[in-house]
Amino acid sequence: MAAARVRQLAPHLYLIVLAPPINGFQDFVGAWLVDGPDAVYLVDVGPAATADQLVDALAALNVGRLDFICLTHIHLDHAGAIGHLVKQYPTAPVVCHPKGVPHIVDPERLWQGTVKTLGATGRAYGRMLPVDPARIATERQLASAPFQLLDTPGHSPHHFAIAAARCLFAGEAGGVCLPLPSGDLYLRPATPPRFFLETSLSSIDRLLAASPDALCYGHFGMQPDGASMLAKHREQLLFWKATLAAEADGGGMNSPDFAARWMDLLLAADPLLYGFSQLAPEIQARERGFLLNSVKGFAGYLARRDRSDSETT
């Protein structure tokens, strides 16, 4: 079995890099551990398939207890191992968006939806085990938590970002950011269907108001200029809107392969995607799948916009 790798990125802050059994998913899925003087907690737990890797890494770090297990959202690459972790740490309350709680208590619908959407990748993540509703953090427990929960829908309706001191765990509300061999960054939206642009922009504004020094991404790693990265991503979403709206207005959604063409257009036009060519071939293949899904999210947003316009004219 593959083993997790641990990176200490700041005092009391560790990124546990998990290795799902999926080609091209190296350095992409992880869990954040805060081993601080006020509390010891996780942010995200990765998929069920890597639960043993995470438990072994925590043991190697001598983590005997967790005060909280936090989920930014319930997608299986972020929350799939939660049912395994609550068994290993039976006193740790689970912090989860209220809209996500029913799906971790009874994950069958979440599992079926994941497999339908992601196919083999979803199956490789593994099934989530159910969580006893008594394990969900109460308001009284959260009152003593050394972090703040920010409601940040957009990537999903059940999304929290977690602000702790000057560090912000953004999940996927700030997009996906990958460091490149050149030292540059590859930044892309995570806007799967159904996508609502104004909701995502409002969430980014909420993150910017937190004035983060460091931004910890769900995918992948930490960037010290958190506010600047959020501002770049906000502008990127607006660039995608303008670029793809022009294509849609020109009849660009009339052909069955429009999403692939739009993806290629953005890869050529969006400066934050220019580093795509530096990615390894198997990572490019993974990214093409996610980019295509994000383009489809924008296409759905534009189609709803057009229907709304036609209903008011």
d(CA 310, CA 89): 54
Alpha-carbon distance 116 to 129, whole Å? 19
pLDDT, tens digit (0-9, with 9 covering 90-100), for 16-59: 999 999 999 999 999 999 998 889 999 999 999 999 999 999 99
- The CA-based diameter of the chain, rounded to the nearest angstrom, is 64
pLDDT tier at 240, thresholds 50, 70, 90: very high
Number of structural domains, the chain? 1
Specify the pLDDT at position 132: 97
The model's confidence at residue 306, banded by pLDDT at 50, 70 and 90, is low
Predicted structure pTM score? 0.93
Q: What average pLDDT does this structure show over 298-305?
A: 88
**Mean pLDDT of the 174-187 span:** 93
Q: Is 271 exposed, middle or buried (0-12, 13-18, 19+ CB in 10 A)?
A: exposed
Look up the CATH number of the domain holding residue 107. Answer: 3.60.15.10
Give residue 10's domain range. 5-311
